[in-house]
Amino acid sequence: MNIYRFYIEVEGTKIKKTVKAETEEAALESIKNQIKIYPSQRKPIPTKRPLSEEEGKKIIIGQVTEYLGIPEEKIYRKTRKTEVVYARFLIYRLLYDNARITKRGIGELFGKDHTTVIHGMKALSDLEETDPKVAFDIEFLNQKICA
């Protein structure tokens, strides 16, 4: 009798784990479907007009720091804190896409080499592929900047 009860408990645990895994996958799929922002499906966001370099710097840096709640002066400091690095990477991408500033120009703005900007943009693209929140942040900020 004890062996039978043990068998039922083990099978029940397996079923619970399977249901939990299926539920987590369903939840993740639901989030992806709600956001529906995948880099492969991303369309260029129509802008009213291209931003000038100076206007782009002011608007984009202001919007990103306000959205993420980071003081603007922290963006220029030499730090590797995740939230600051993430903000910088977002700014690199948005400046390059919307203000048409070169990677070298973006690097000079932050006191970085252009290869650092390339790395940041690549890292952000990789995150965008896997993390729906990053994709949402990029899309949201693009729309806010272009409005």
Report the CATH number that the domain containing residue 128 is assigned in CATH: 1.10.1750.10
116: its two tokens: 């650092």
Residue 56 is predicted with a pLDDT of 84
Residue 1 is predicted with a pLDDT of 47
How many Cα atoms sit within 13 Å of 69 on the Cβ side?
0
Cα-based angle 126, 67, 125 (whole degrees, multiple of 5): 10
Residue 99 is predicted with a pLDDT of 86
Which residues of the chain have a pLDDT value below 70?
A: 1-50
Residue 28: which residues within 8 A CB-CB, separation 6 or more?
none
Residue 86 is predicted with a pLDDT of 95
Structural domain count, the chain = 1
Asked whether residue 10 is domain-assigned, the answer is no
Residue 54 is predicted with a pLDDT of 83
Asked whether residue 81 is domain-assigned, the answer is yes
Asked whether residue 83 is domain-assigned, the answer is yes
Asked whether residue 18 is domain-assigned, the answer is no
Domain range spanning residue 138?
53-146
Asked whether residue 114 is domain-assigned, the answer is yes
Residue 48 is predicted with a pLDDT of 54
Asked whether residue 43 is domain-assigned, the answer is no
Sign of CA pseudo-dihedral 147, 129, 43, 101: positive
Cα-based angle 82, 66, 71 (whole degrees, multiple of 5): 60
Asked whether residue 22 is domain-assigned, the answer is no
Asked whether residue 40 is domain-assigned, the answer is no
